[in-house]
A and B are shown apart, each in its own frame.
Chain A
Amino acid sequence: MSRPRPFAITLDVGSSLANRTGDWRTERPVYVRRMPPCNHGCPAREDIQGWLYEAEAGGEGYERAWRLLVADNPFPAIMGCVCYHPCESACNRVQIDEAVGINAVERFLGDEGIRHGWELPQPQPASGRRVLIVGAGPSGLSAAYHLALRGHHVTLCEQAGKPGGMMRYGIPAYRLPRDVLDAEIERILALGVELRCEQRVSDLQEAMREGGYDAAFLALGAHVARHTEIPGGTAAHVINALDLLQDVEAGARPQLGRVVVYGGGDTALDAARTARRLSPQEPVVVYRRTRERMPAHPEELRQAQEEGIAFRWLSTIAAAEGGHLRLEAMELDGDGFPQPTGRYEELDADALVLAIGQDADLALLSGVPGVEVQDHVVKVDEWMMTGAPGVFAGGDMVPAERNVAVAIGHGAAAARCIDGWLRGIEPRAEQEAQLATFEHINPWYYTDAPRTVRPLLADVRRQSTFEEVVKGLDESSALFEARRCLSCGNCFSCDNCFGVCPDNAVLKPGPDGEPYAFDLDYCKGCGMCVTECPCGAIEMVPEEI
């Protein structure tokens, strides 16, 4: 029966571990991975936060960072030169001091990759499937890379003499050094991608039938320069911006005299800046809207102005006659459209360069059933497939922003979908993680960058987007810059949760850098770890009671 209970003070001391305070809890903390805004803003879908995390370690971390980066985008050094880095515009760090110099770090990693000869991952075993890619611009090359990795045989047909598309025949060498371009393309070809240059595909159906291809990816770009009728234009020396850029790329150094460039996009600015390098006279860019409405990137505009290029905003060219242009002043109407005013002025010009847009040449698609073309671009669904089954498309020839990162993203997305298509897998939308906004950050823990380092960075950043003198970040600046990352929404092993729990309920089960865990037997659910996590990697969720 019941033994007499001992008098209280004769009990041995026990540990409070016997008291499982976890059952007080109404909410539990969980580690989450939120979507960092930089990743969200990257059209090539890079895991920027992820590779910055690796780079932060320095030393061998650079190679790990590079590997993570090229898993999504095989062109880190190229991106470091030409990308408009929407990631930086989205970066949460802006709200503390200034955005992380993601693009400059990417350039550094890209250069390291070339310098050390790091190799891309090895392709999976051959699938026996054949894919035709038309166009060896960034989009086609990106798709070729991702398809080759998945074990598919890729034939890349390119009408020009060399691969690269607009990266070679559009973007001038002072912004993208050709040795960088060649090195990063070479690495993809080394995976066994079959490149056929000077091979124009003029009939898609025939090409697919002849080559026995299972699917096709079209990445033709937009190369047909738009034209505009200018009275008397035939008498004057009128050239196309793209032709000018291509000729210069091929080694020509035409003597143009006083150059007027007509247009307001990046092509116009590159044409003007190229003309600036060809002739001592300062080129003039004529654009029919205002500076604010110019589609060119502000950074490029700034550099063009620094180089002494002049601008005539709100002007159209009404007529051209030997040595003169007649400009008409414009006014924006209520909807922001330029309207003629009837006021004219004269401008001296020996050559008129037209840069008023490009369209895709879609001749090869004639007769392909199902393909829909609207406004000179080809419609694709969310899986990058055109209306014709098995025919995918991306880059400048589909409706989207036209830049290298978008083209690369399209190539990668198309490769994923083509792979699924070839394997007969139903495509499914990936569930996107919640965005890590600045509200998820505890800014207390991030210190301002010391003032001594900032001007240096500003300089280097400027150089890295203006590559006349090619210069990336040096190692210590790159490391500094990588370490400025807040690691938005993703644990970076700062030990805060482990330190701040009043109940010792956070565990470090593995070595440094491995995830932490909650000891739910004792966690009371106060949520202090959530508040004090610098980067927003913990969330409280209700317990089921």
Chain B
Amino acid sequence: MSRPPEQRERFYQTGTLAVGGRLLAEEQRTVQAGESRANAITKGHRACQGCGEALGARYVLDAAMRATGGQVIAANATGCLEVFSTPYPESSWRLPWIHSLFGNAPAVASGVAAALRAKGRASEVRVVGQGGDGGTVDIGMACLSGMFERGDDVLYVCYDNQAYMNTGVQRSAATPPAARTATTEPLGGHPGNELGQGKSAPLIAMAHEIPYVATATVAELRDLEAKVIRAMSFRGPRYLHVLVPCPLGWGSDPAQTIRIARLAKETGLFPVFEALHGRLAAVSQIRRKLPVEEYLRPQRRYAHLFADGGRPDLVAALQAQADRNVQRFGLLAEAEPREGDLLHVLADGERGP
């Protein structure tokens, strides 16, 4: 249960945590460090300042392009990523890219994969399906599950910004407890999302026992790239769930997007792991565990937890959730990871990431 060896260079100045560096050999740098990176989504897109989703999509697709020698077709669900990249007639995409509907991106991706198979080109050209958390965890779930169950050769990537951002920050099943959205506000005793609701798409994907499931954040580029490249080494359905902070919907400083993603992982609120055929295979350990408050405070969607006496009970509940993740996934070096069977992880109760 340890990270892949590419994270262990003898370069102490920044470890290998930085994007690249003049002292690293070409192969020790990230894909993003290279001028030859594909820039699969190029500049001029209309994402907000500091958008984590735009960044995450470039990270993922450039790595997929590297892994396949540039032979990738992308099928995109409706959502910010689609809207900000393709205001007709402009497109930011520098790879073959198709958009159909909000809820059917996995099915479109399956169809493209089938077409490639029919044309005998499936061995060279690979398919990536992608969408937001709404398009994936909510409305696209049926298509996604079908894609998994049929064994279609698609890497599906969910860019999780934890709400329906494109239409003005409505709650999704990936919205975390206590986070305020436009549709949680009128309900309940506090403006945030109910506790005890929602679902974990990565754990659902694991239940399909597909070859590869992983979570990642935009804060750990090397980890993310390694996972994309690893995913592309498998055939069949694969699922990657990337946490991408949204400054607009989270009420955070655009300059802090990466830092906030990092805090999500370092507090334990967002476990970063890998699973093979339904079994938990590796976790990214927390470097310095921090209290959840560090993560919550810089986001206005959690402001009600701290204003006017605040809601220490809710903060404590979120802390308990983080602590439970640490235990469940073995996120701290000393915590014994619960290696093994998916059923084991699921039987443990509630939602995961």
Seen from chain A, the residues whose Cβ lies within 8 Å of a Cβ on chain B are 8, 11-21, 24, 56-57, 444-447, 449-450, 480, 483-487, 492-496, 498-505, 508, 512-513, 519, 522, 524-528, 530-532, 534, 540
Q: Is B346 an interface residue (CB 8 A)?
A: no
CB distance from A504 to the nearest CB of B (A): 4
CB distance from A105 to the nearest CB of B (A): 13
Interface stretch among B10-18, B307-315, B325-333? B10-18
CA–CA, A306 and B58, complex, Å: 60
Do A495 and B19 have beta carbons less than 8 Å apart? yes
Q: Is B49 an interface residue (CB 8 A)?
A: yes
Do A21 and B44 have beta carbons less than 8 Å apart? yes
Interface stretch among B105-113, B181-189, B252-260? B252-260
Q: Which of A21, A447, A449, A493 contacts B21 (CB 8 A)?
A: A493
Pull 26 A–B residue pairs with CB atoms less than 8 Å apart, ordered by A: A8-B89, A11-B89, A13-B91, A15-B91, A21-B44, A444-B262, A445-B14, A445-B15, A446-B17, A449-B12, A483-B12, A483-B13, A484-B12, A484-B13, A494-B14, A495-B30, A495-B33, A498-B33, A502-B50, A502-B51, A503-B45, A505-B43, A522-B43, A526-B254, A527-B253, A540-B255
Question: Secondary structure of the B side of the interface?
Answer: loop
Do B42 and A504 have beta carbons less than 8 Å apart? yes
Besides the contacts A495-B33, A526-B50, what 17 more A-B pairs have beta carbons closer than 8 Å? A15-B42, A20-B44, A56-B23, A445-B14, A445-B15, A446-B14, A485-B13, A492-B21, A496-B18, A499-B221, A501-B55, A502-B58, A502-B257, A512-B22, A524-B49, A526-B257, A527-B255
Residues in A with CB closer than 8 Å to B18 are: 445, 494-496, 534
7 A-B pairs with the lowest CB-CB distances in the bound complex, closest first: A495-B20, A499-B19, A527-B255, A16-B44, A447-B15, A526-B50, A526-B49
Residues in B with CB closer than 8 Å to A12 are: 89
CA–CA, A490 and B33, complex, Å: 19
Q: Which of B29, B58, B85, B253 contacts A504 (CB 8 A)?
A: B58
Give the interface centre of B22, B54, B92, B258 by most chain A CB atoms within 10 Å.
Answer: B22
Residues in A with CB closer than 8 Å to B254 are: 526-528
Residues in A with CB closer than 8 Å to B92 are: 15-16
Residues in A with CB closer than 8 Å to B19 are: 494-496, 498-500
Given contacts A57-B23, A534-B18, contact A499 B33 (CB under 8 A): yes
CA–CA, A532 and B19, complex, Å: 10
Residues in B with CB closer than 8 Å to A447 are: 12, 14-15, 17
CA–CA, A540 and B85, complex, Å: 26
Do A18 and B17 have beta carbons less than 8 Å apart? no
CA–CA, A451 and B46, complex, Å: 47
Closest chain B residue, CB of each to CB of A532: B258
CB distance from A522 to the nearest CB of B (A): 4
Closest chain B residue, CB of each to CB of A495: B20
What bracket does the count of chain B residues touching chain A fall in? 35 or more
Seen from chain B, the residues whose Cβ lies within 8 Å of a Cβ on chain A are 11-15, 17-23, 29-30, 32-33, 35, 39, 42-47, 49-52, 54-55, 58, 85, 87-92, 221, 247, 253-259, 262
Do B35 and A18 have beta carbons less than 8 Å apart? no
CA–CA, A532 and B219, complex, Å: 10
CB distance from B84 to the nearest CB of A (A): 9
Residues in B with CB closer than 8 Å to A19 are: 44-46, 87, 90
CB distance from A491 to the nearest CB of B (A): 10
Q: Which of B17, B29, B54 contacts A445 (CB 8 A)?
A: B17
Residues in A with CB closer than 8 Å to B85 are: 16
CB distance from A527 to the nearest CB of B (A): 3
Do B45 and A16 have beta carbons less than 8 Å apart? yes
Do A528 and B257 have beta carbons less than 8 Å apart? yes
CB distance from B80 to the nearest CB of A (A): 12
Residues in A with CB closer than 8 Å to B221 are: 499
CA–CA, A500 and B17, complex, Å: 13
Given contacts A494-B18, A500-B19, contact A519 B43 (CB under 8 A): yes
Do A15 and B255 have beta carbons less than 8 Å apart? no
CA–CA, A450 and B8, complex, Å: 11
Do A17 and B42 have beta carbons less than 8 Å apart? yes
Do B17 and A16 have beta carbons less than 8 Å apart? no
Residues in B with CB closer than 8 Å to A496 are: 18-19
Residues in A with CB closer than 8 Å to B23 are: 56-57, 483
Residues in B with CB closer than 8 Å to A57 are: 22-23
CB distance from B290 to the nearest CB of A (A): 12
Do A16 and B55 have beta carbons less than 8 Å apart? no
Closest chain A residue, CB of each to CB of B93: A16
CA–CA, A512 and B47, complex, Å: 30
